[in-house]
Amino acid sequence: MDHTQHSSPTPGRRTEIHDGDVLTPHPEVVAGPSSAPSIRRPAQLPSRFDVPVSALAPLFRTRLERIYRCRVAFDLDLNTRATTRVLGGYYKTRRLVRVYVNDTELGRRPLEELFDTFLHEVAHHLEYTEPTSFSARACGRVPGRMHSRLFWKILGEIKYRWVILQRQAAAARQP
């Protein structure tokens, strides 16, 4: 087939070349003399690579298993609903860890912020289900306070383990 006669296809028309079933793209915005084009930009430009939301739960669970093995299972919900202030939540009766992936103004939250929120909510889970694993007789929750001393001890311990693991990985990469 001679491709020279079809070098500038008409926008919106099917091309005649070997990929004839592919539509030629339309021009983006054609602005007339009295109209200004309105381009809506995303709240946050995508980074070099954003892990798909569907891959975050397995990634976070794998990371957690490397630093702490939970004795009591929990459900994990990575919710794509955009929120203004709330980053996540733990639901004790359902044993559910929920992390909100998107911010109303900034768009997708960074991966490490999401993992940090995940660890925070897992610390709540461990506070309720495994207080004896952290040298406590019972859950240290005080009515009216969001975080007990036991919670901070648990969160500090699992974050410390994650930092140590990161340092070991960085040291292994250096010659």
In a domain, 96, yes or no: yes
Within the chain, what is the greatest distance between any pair of CA atoms? Answer: 82
In a domain, 48, yes or no: no
In a domain, 32, yes or no: no
Integer angstrom CA distances of residue 121 from 10, 11, 143, 152, 172? 55, 51, 18, 12, 30
Question: What is the CATH classification number for the domain harbouring 98?
Answer: 3.30.2010
Residue 23 · residue 48 · CB < 8 Å: no
pLDDT in tens, 88-131: 999 999 999 999 999 999 999 999 999 999 999 999 999 999 98
In a domain, 97, yes or no: yes
Domain total in the chain: 1
In a domain, 161, yes or no: yes
**In 3-state terms, what secondary structure has residue 161?**
helix
Domain that holds residue 130: 53-173
SS3 of the chain: helix, strand, coil, percent, to 5: 40, 10, 50
In a domain, 15, yes or no: no
pLDDT in tens, 46-95: 556 788 999 999 999 999 999 999 999 999 999 999 999 999 999 999 99
Question: Which of the listed ranges 67-71, 136-140, 150-154 does the model predict with the highest average pLDDT?
Answer: 67-71
